[in-house]
Chains A and B, each alone.
Chain A
Amino acid sequence: MDKFRMIFQFLQSNQESFMNGICGIMALASAQMYSAFDFNCPCLPHYNLAYGLGILLVPPFILFLLGFVLNNNVSMLAEEWRRPQGQRGKDPAVLRYMFCSMAQRAMIAPVVWVSVTLLDGKCITCAFCTSVPVETLGNASHPGLSQGEMKRVLARIPCKEIYDGQEFIANEVAIRYLRCISQALGWCFVLLMTTLAFLVRSLRPCFTQAAFLKSRYWSHYIDIERKLFDETCAEHARSFAKVCIQQFFEGMSTDLAAARCHPPMKAPADVGEDAEKLLGITDQGSMNVALKSWHRCKPPLHLHPPTLPSGNGWAGEKQSPTHLPVPRREMAAYYSRV
């Protein structure tokens, strides 16, 4: 457990490392998904191609979109792209950098899926079994079969149990041939992708290093600024809520006191902390009224500046701040509240 926590902390400490971690997890998930998936070739002439190519190309597209969805920075990119210019100019190089780095990470899981699919061979075998060269691999001179019939027979190659064309072309020969082609394609694809990644990574320092450092700094800055702003807003909301609720309870307590037509008890000078926290509500009836009022009529989102009671019991809204010799809990009987 500790081990995972440490690895998690290491990945979290650096935002880019965290994204790399997610990217690696998606690649592993993609390989696992393929092995868990139960491939079932339909073994019918026109359906084979659609099914085989569909399994080869549709899940990578979904994984690519998922890569974008799981990336926290997508909303940051969209926000930065759409915001009005205001007092701060927009730098398209920063937007391009953010988009490129997200797209590169999102490409990894689809590439893993396509490679694993091609190296396994079932998709290509299913999709292209009707195009096997029967003349070179088998015995095409067998008479009496139209094109359509031949295609129907060849379409059953992936389904060994129902294959009935042994005299044209042996099932194992055809499957080996198709699988060999599929694996060759797979390795070529892997080589191509690694070469592209290598070129992208190694040509960058040769051309645009200064611009790259700038874009990277400002894209990190935008991310950090957004997080700090959210933290500041959360702090503010917390204080706002605290003061709002405190004012609500004070209001309730004075309202109840006014309703009972007797002045509130003057708290003794050495009042304990717990008694203070009771906020003037000290019996079941008052608490029920307070709870009902909280549900029926929440206070407006408008905090009053703290009012200061004066000696004669009158405290007005616009009063210059004075020193505060008496503790706040000692309330005056009448005061006006706007």
Chain B
Amino acid sequence: MDRFRMIFQYFQSNSESVMNGICGLLALASVKMYTCFDFSCPCLPRYNMAYGLGIMFVPPIALFLCGLILNRQSLVMLEEWQRPQGHRKKDLAVIRYMCSSIMQRAMVAPVVWIIVTLLDGKCLICAFSGSVDPEKFVAFANTSPVQVQHLLAKVPCKDDELMRNNTSRKAVSRYLRCWSQALGWSILLILIIAAFLARWLRPCFNQATLLQTRHWSNYIDIEQKIFEETCCEHSRLFAHKCILHFFESMRQEIKRHSFSLPRKGEEAEGEEDLLRGITDQDQVNKILKMWYYEKPPL
């Protein structure tokens, strides 16, 4: 329990960590979505390619946009970019740094989706089954072009009546899956090498500038948060004063109209304070009515 609380506090304390947390959650959600999604290739000549490539590329775009939307820093960056200069100069390097860090985080979930798709293989098999060379496979070698296209399109569907007993179906399937997984692992390797190089070589270039831009981007983020908290605190105090003032003015009005002297017994003083001079059903009704019909000015 303590460990969980510590982890939670650590994530909360640093805005960058919160962003990393969200990024990780989105990547996990992306894998979960892929496993829940019921991939069903249409097994028709022109539809296969559209479906296969669609499933491979459209969800990553949606995930990328989700990554940008869920990242609070993107709003902060846009505000900083669009604000009028005023008394404070704008530093484009800070805005560039924030933009690149937002983009990097938002790219994680789409990349995870694409890699999982490629390693699984179903999308590529569906999309490119019609593009293999039929001469390489025995069962498709001696059929007419139209017929072969039709048959190849049905390769992803194991249970189709034409494909159930076809010996070359598995061969085509394995061939395409092999290509798909090779592509998947290569992309993963390239990305990891690129990330590794970027992290190692960064201190060699402009380390001082980097420290500055990182500091000021954190500062802008924190300043924004503190401003929002201060506004909340201020509106709370404002409301408190407004209501007290309202009750006080009501008490004055009631005193004026009822001609009774205020009594303050020593014991009753505490309660009297809370009652604020309102001791009657009609008075209470009047106060509530006034509150609705004529709210006090701000």
Contacts and interface: CB of A to CB of B under 8 A. Distances in A.
B238 A221 contact: yes
A173 B41 CA distance: 10
B65 A198 contact: yes
Nearest to B159: A172
Contacts of A224: 232, 235-236, 239
B8 to A, nearest CB: 7
Contact of B265 (A87, A194, A308): A308
A190 B63 CA distance: 10
B298 A232 contact: no
Interface residues of B, number: 73
B82 A206 contact: yes
B47 interface: yes
B29 to A, nearest CB: 12
A228 B239 contact: yes
Interface in B53-106: 54-55, 58-59, 61-62, 65-66, 68-69, 74-75, 78-79, 81-83
A318 B235 CA distance: 43
B232 A220 contact: yes
A2 B1 contact: yes
B144 interface: no
Q: Is the interface of A mostly helix, strand, loop or mixed?
A: helix
Interface in A164-184: 170, 172-173, 176-177, 179-180, 183-184
A260 interface: no
Contact of A202 (B42, B74, B236): B74
A39 B83 CA distance: 52
Interface stretch (A61-69, A141-149, A266-274, A299-307): A299-307
A119 B33 CA distance: 11
Interface string A238-252: 111011000000000
A236 B276 contact: yes
A187 interface: yes
A100 to B, nearest CB: 16
Q: Is the interface of B mostly helix, strand, loop or mixed?
A: helix
B281 A301 contact: yes
A187 B54 contact: yes
A137 B44 CA distance: 9
A305 B263 CA distance: 6
Contact of A187 (B8, B58, B161, B276): B58
Nearest to B232: A220
Interface string A291-311: 000000000111101101000
Contacts of B274: 235-236, 238-239
Contact of A88 (B55, B240, B298): B298
For the complex of A and B, the 8 pairs showing the least CB-CB separation, nearest first, are A86-B294, A301-B281, A180-B42, A303-B279, A225-B239, A239-B274, A305-B263, A221-B235
Given A184-B50, A239-B274, 15 more contacts: A2-B1, A86-B294, A87-B294, A87-B297, A119-B37, A121-B40, A172-B159, A191-B61, A197-B69, A221-B235, A229-B291, A236-B276, A305-B262, A321-B264, A324-B265
Interface of B: 1, 4-5, 8, 12, 37-38, 40-44, 47, 50-51, 54-55, 58-59, 61-62, 65-66, 68-69, 74-75, 78-79, 81-83, 157, 159-161, 231-232, 235-236, 238-240, 242-243, 247, 260-268, 271, 274-276, 278-281, 284, 288, 291-298
8 contacts: A3-B1, A10-B8, A84-B294, A173-B43, A243-B268, A306-B263, A306-B268, A320-B261
